[in-house]
């Protein structure tokens, strides 16, 4: 009496669990820096994308994440993976520059980066020290001798550039440091303030093809070829990225 | 007889699976780094700031929850009115709401561009990136745990006792303070323990609404998230600290309720069972 419904229940539970175990992903998986979230799907919408801070992605790939391509906002992460023989030789495919963004209504009336060291402490958002955009921001401020911007204001450290954009777009922060390409993506909610060229650190995006058992090397190469194709370069350019000489 | 032994074995197997599944990750936390490194890892300025923020914000949030939540729960437990079921459901909703939704809701309500954000800003109150944002987020997600348990605790007080007090001339406030409150105490404490644990563990609403400002809004769970990418060992050390803290809260509550189990007039969420 008791056994039958129990067995039935167990069998159906097993069936449900079996059906829910994710099948091995068939699409090529691209792990890419958050700043590429808009342009990469335009280049090839058929990929499975995972966008996050490049340092986060590096960590995930080191721990065996099923990535096929890794596209980073800085050379450091792919070079580290290359040294660990977790991916092939990295190559540059785009460049970028930093800007300051403020909410469209600019409640703090910020017109230049120098405004951030004047007046009362302001709520600003930056990338945390480990994520490329955070590292670049600190380099830029150091070159401008504006390091105090990060100590005398109320600074929220975001794990990727998308977090910085959101905090500014929603007005939680009155300013944030992001890439010029992010300013374009969020142009309906934020205003972009340019930063001096002489203070810009070199910002190079590098990709590498992940080496692990079961990686889709052919699919990875095909995606990389699309990124480097004339159409890929045109889309990167339209999104505001700089292009390396070929 | 044989059938019953087979059945017992099946139950034991299920229990074994449950215990192993729940225990393995916790044990793994402790085996990932040498335990003697933990004190120095916890000495990191990031951890100290996060500990301060977490304790301060939770202290204030819990005080708010107890001071405002207790009379509110008493009202709901002792009065019947039109729409009461709706109010109770509303109070319980944050229990089942994903914390990320709570964070977005906070932004929509109190954020700079939110429903009340403009008015608050004009009144000089800016919540995002301040410790008050953490307190608001913690209170929102943790209060329902206390309120729900509080309503149940007050409801399970034998109604003849407050009635007796009333016939002996005690006013309603006196009945609440001297009769209902002591009788419901162990249930209220159980609810508070749940709310406290939930508040310490709060993450989703805080990171969305309060931001990640070290020394202001970066709580222990936010510090884990940030250190995950920077220094994995520090993230592990904070996690171990939180496991110990949570286990300590649970255990001390259990011991407390076992010790004073003389007046079991209200249900206890985790009484020691023998």
pLDDT digits (tens), chain A, 246 positions: 445 666 667 677 766 666 665 555 468 999 999 999 999 999 999 999 999 999 999 999 998 899 999 999 999 999 999 999 999 999 999 999 999 999 999 999 999 999 999 888 999 999 999 999 999 999 999 999 999 999 999 999 999 999 999 999 998 999 999 999 999 999 999 999 999 999 999 999 999 999 998 899 999 999 999 999 999 999 999 999 999 876
Q: Which ipTM did the prediction report?
A: 0.73
| Interface list for A 57-76 with B (CB within 8 A) | 59
Concatenating the DSSP letter of every residue in B59-76 gives HHHHHHHHHHHHHHHHHH
- For residue A219, CA distances in Å to A38, A50, A215, A224 come to 20, 16, 9, 9
Q: pTM of the prediction? A: 0.81
For residue B112, the distance in angstroms to the closest alpha carbon of chain A comes to 5
Please tell me the distance from the alpha carbon of residue B112 to that of residue B155, in angstroms, as a whole number: 41
Beta strands at A98-103 and A175-179: parallel, antiparallel or unpaired? antiparallel
- State residue A177 phi and psi, 5-degree precision: -100, 120
Domains of chain A (ranges; CATH) run 25-95+202-238 (3.40.190.10), 98-199 (3.40.190.10)
Please tell me the distance from the alpha carbon of residue A169 to that of residue A244, in angstroms, as a whole number: 30
B46 touches chain A (CB under 8 A): no
Concatenating the DSSP letter of every residue in B154-192 gives HHTS-THHHHHHHHTT--HHHHIIIIIHHHHHHHHHHHH
Domains of chain B (ranges; CATH) run 49-259 (1.10.3720.10)
B216 touches chain A (CB under 8 A): yes
For residue B269, the distance in angstroms to the closest alpha carbon of chain A comes to 29
Give me the residue from A103, A129, A154 closest to B129, CB to CB: A154
Inspect the interface and report whether the beta carbons of B113 and A171 lie closer than 8 Å. yes
Q: Where are the alpha helices (DSSP H) in B97-176?
A: 99-110, 117-122, 131-155, 160-167, 172-175
The tokens describing B256, both together, are 């407390």
Which of A58, A138, A172, A189 best probes binding to B when mutated, by most B CB atoms within 10 angstroms?
A172
Q: Which helix (H) or strand (E) holds B193?
A: helix B181-201
Q: What is the dihedral of CA B100, A64, A90, A158, to 10 degrees?
A: 20
């Amino acid at each position: 009496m008791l056994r039958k419904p129990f067995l039935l229940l167990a069998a159906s539970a097993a069936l449900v669990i079996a059906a829910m175990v994710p099948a091995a992903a068939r699409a090529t998986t691209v792990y890419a820096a958050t700043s590429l979230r808009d342009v990469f799907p335009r280049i090839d919408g058929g990929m499975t994308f995972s966008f996050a801070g490049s340092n986060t992605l590096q960590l995930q790939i080191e721990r065996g994440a099923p990535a096929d391509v890794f596209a980073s906002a800085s050379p450091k992460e792919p070079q580290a993976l290359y040294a660990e023989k977790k991916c092939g030789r990295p190559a540059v495919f785009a460049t970028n520059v930093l800007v300051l963004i403020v909410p469209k209504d600019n409640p703090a009336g910020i017109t230049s980066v120098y405004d951030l060291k004047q007046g009362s402490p302001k709520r600003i958002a930056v990338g945390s020290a480990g994520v490329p955009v955070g590292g670049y921001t600190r380099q830029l401020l150091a070159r401008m001798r504006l390091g105090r911007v990060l100590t005398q204001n109320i600074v929220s450290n975001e794990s990727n550039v998308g977090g910085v954009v959101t905090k500014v777009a929603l007005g939680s922060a009155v300013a944030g440091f992001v890439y010029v390409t992010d300013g374009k993506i969020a142009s309906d909610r934020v205003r972009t303030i340019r930063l001096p060229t002489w203070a810009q650190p070199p910002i190079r995006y590098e990709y590498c093809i992940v080496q692990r058992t079961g990686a889709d090397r052919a699919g990875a190469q095909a995606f990389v070829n699309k990124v480097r194709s004339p159409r890929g370069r045109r889309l990167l350019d339209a999104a505001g990225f700089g292009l390396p000489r070929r | 007889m044989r059938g019953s032994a087979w059945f017992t074995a099946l139950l034991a197997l299920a229990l074994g699976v449950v215990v192993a599944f729940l225990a393995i990750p916790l044990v793994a936390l402790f085996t990932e780094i040498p335990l003697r490194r933990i004190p120095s890892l916890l000495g990191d300025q990031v951890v100290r700031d996060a500990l301060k923020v977490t304790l301060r914000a939770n202290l204030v949030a819990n005080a708010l929850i107890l001071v405002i939540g207790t009379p509110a729960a008493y009202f709901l437990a002792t009065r019947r009115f039109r729409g009461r079921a709706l109010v109770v459901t509303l109070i319980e909703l944050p229990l089942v709401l994903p914390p990320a939704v709570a964070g977005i809701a906070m932004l929509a309500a109190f954020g700079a561009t939110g429903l009340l954000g403009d008015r608050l800003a004009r009144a000089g109150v800016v919540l995002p990136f301040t410790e008050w944002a953490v307190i608001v987020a913690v209170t929102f997600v943790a209060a329902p745990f206390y309120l729900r348990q509080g309503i149940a605790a007050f409801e399970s007080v034998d109604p003849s006792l407050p009635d007796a007090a009333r016939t002996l001339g005690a006013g309603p406030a006196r009945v609440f303070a001297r009769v209902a409150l002591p009788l419901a105490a162990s249930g209220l404490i159980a609810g508070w323990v749940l709310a406290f644990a939930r508040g310490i563990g709060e993450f989703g609403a805080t990171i969305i609404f309060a931001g990640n400002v070290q020394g202001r809004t970066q709580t222990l769970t936010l510090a884990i998230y940030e250190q995950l990418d920077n220094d994995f060992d520090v993230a592990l050390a904070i996690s171990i600290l939180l496991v110990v803290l949570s286990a300590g809260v649970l255990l001390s509550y259990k011991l407390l309720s076992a010790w004073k189990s003389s007046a079991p007039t209200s249900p206890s969420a985790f009484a020691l069972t023998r």
